[in-house]
Amino acid sequence: MDELPVIDATVGDAGELVEVWRAQGEMDGQLARALLEGSGIESMLSGEALRLTHGLTVDGLAEVRILVREEDVTKACEIIATMENVSSCPNCRFPVRVEDARCQNCDASLPRGS
């Protein structure tokens, strides 16, 4: 398996990595990564080193960004949306937590219990 390049996680040229989920800590991030890789999607975790030493997330500290290749975004979002307490935004199909009021991706207002 080829190494994923470590680059800015913005949509762009083919081969760049795209953020598809912000996990609440290392365990949640590793679970998402295992689901993706079990479905044949290579992924990378990115975040502050704090996530490795503390088991909590406060105001984005210790969040884990899940990155995939641009061509895998749609399938990765569908897979992550199957996780417990996760759904998908009705506007852009990006995975969202059921308790979120707004989509992290498109900022759309979410229905209660999405």
| CATH code: domain of residue 59 | 3.30.70
Q: Categorize the per-residue pLDDT at 6 as very low, low, confident or very high, splitting at 50, 70 and 90.
A: very low
Average pLDDT over all residues of the chain: 79
Residue-level pLDDT at 48: 62
* 8 A C-beta contact, residue 35 and residue 83: yes
Number of domains forming the structure of the chain: 1
Residue 87 maps to a domain: yes
Asked, for residue 80, whether it belongs to a domain, the answer is: yes
Domain-located, residue 111: no
Give the residue numbers spanning the domain of 68.
17-97
Query: pLDDT tens digits, residue range 30-67?
Result: 999 999 999 999 999 887 655 455 555 555 566 889 99
